[in-house]
Amino acid sequence: MDLPENQNRPLNIAHRGARSLAPENTLAAARKGLEVGADMWELDIQMTADGELIVIHDSTLKRTSNVREVFPSRKPWLVHEFTLDEIRLLDFGSWFTEQDPFGQIASGMVAESDLASYVQQQAPTLGEALSFTLEHGWSVNLEIKELSGNPDPEQVVKKILALVEDLDMVDSVLISSYNQAYLAQVRKAHPHVATGVLVSKPHPHPETLLRQLGAQAYHPRLSGFRPADIALLHLQGCRIHIWNVNDRKTMQRLVRARVDGIFTDFPQLLTSVLASPDIS
């Protein structure tokens, strides 16, 4: 099975919502990724109290929204305890302007007009995020988080795949997770959807793991990356995408090692690395 079309390039400039330039997991961040030349974007899927799929990284709302001000009595502000309508009341952008998590505002890399537009950014539903991806002829990595509230993995996967199928995006989507039960369910329900196995520590035999799961991509953390895995996976027709890489020297090293993709908070930096004449 082929990976999404945009991933068949020599190296994929993936980004985690271009979150050095805009608030993560918002459509504003996706737009920034497009502007700076990313081939795809990565988003994180959570589920609301009323069973809606929404794009938020954490299991709680407190880090990336103003939930503590809007719902002060709802501590610990778990995503699965809020309905979609309640989450729609929250501002998912102002924190970025206030905290400048990557120092890009202070360094002048974010325009004042962009900062103004980040106020009252909403967390998109998965349907909205997929529609944005389709509209721009892009690709997306959908990471299914370890969902709080313990929803049925089969039902979660069915909801995700129904959206993918309704929008005819099977060839534009890669579904990844640490939870191999989700990946096995994707394989069972829709074997034509590509999957990627996320790991924090190196797996002793990633090529065997991917074969067992019917997965097409291996997503190790940078600290768990072993150069020898590249040849093993390529022999099996699989790909290796490294996360999370934010410095130029490491990007250069990985490009030269022939990894297939790099997840980064700085797609603008990776774009410049790939354009450099000393990268071959």
Whole-number pLDDT of residue 148: 73
Give the residue among 245, 270, 260 at the shortest CA–CA distance from 210.
260
Return the pLDDT at 4: 56
Q: Where are the alpha helices (DSSP H) in 167-261?
A: 180-189, 206-213, 228-235, 248-256
CA-only gyration radius of the chain, Å: 18
Q: Which CATH number fits domain 5-58+124-275: 3.40.50.720, 3.40.50.300, 3.20.20.190, 3.40.50.2300?
A: 3.20.20.190
H-type helices in the chain, by residue range? 27-35, 67-70, 84-87, 94-99, 112-118, 126-135, 153-166, 180-189, 206-213, 228-235, 248-256, 267-275
Which pLDDT score is estimated for 276? 86
Question: What would the two tokens of residue 221 be?
Answer: 């953390």
Say what the pLDDT of residue 3 is: 53
Residues 6+ apart with CB under 8 A from 4: 40, 139, 140, 171, 172, 173, 174, 194
The three-class DSSP label of residue 262 is strand
Position 280 scores a pLDDT of 61
Amino acid of residue 42: E
Domain ranges of the chain: 5-58+124-275
Q: What is the pLDDT along the chain (280 residues), one digit of tens a residue?
A: 445 544 444 466 677 778 999 999 999 999 999 999 999 999 999 999 999 999 999 999 999 999 999 999 999 999 999 999 999 999 999 999 999 999 999 999 999 999 999 999 999 999 999 999 999 999 999 999 988 777 788 899 999 999 999 999 999 999 999 999 999 999 999 999 999 999 999 999 999 999 999 999 999 999 989 999 999 999 999 999 999 999 999 999 999 999 999 999 999 999 999 998 877 6
Check residue 2 and give its pLDDT: 43
The phi, psi pair for 209, rounded to 5°, reads: -60, -45
CA angle 24, 27, 32 (to 5 degrees): 75
pLDDT value of residue 147: 82
pLDDT at residue 278, rounded to an integer: 79
Nearest CA-CA partner of 157 in 175, 137, 134: 175
Nearest to 52 by CA among 160, 173, 195, 146: 160
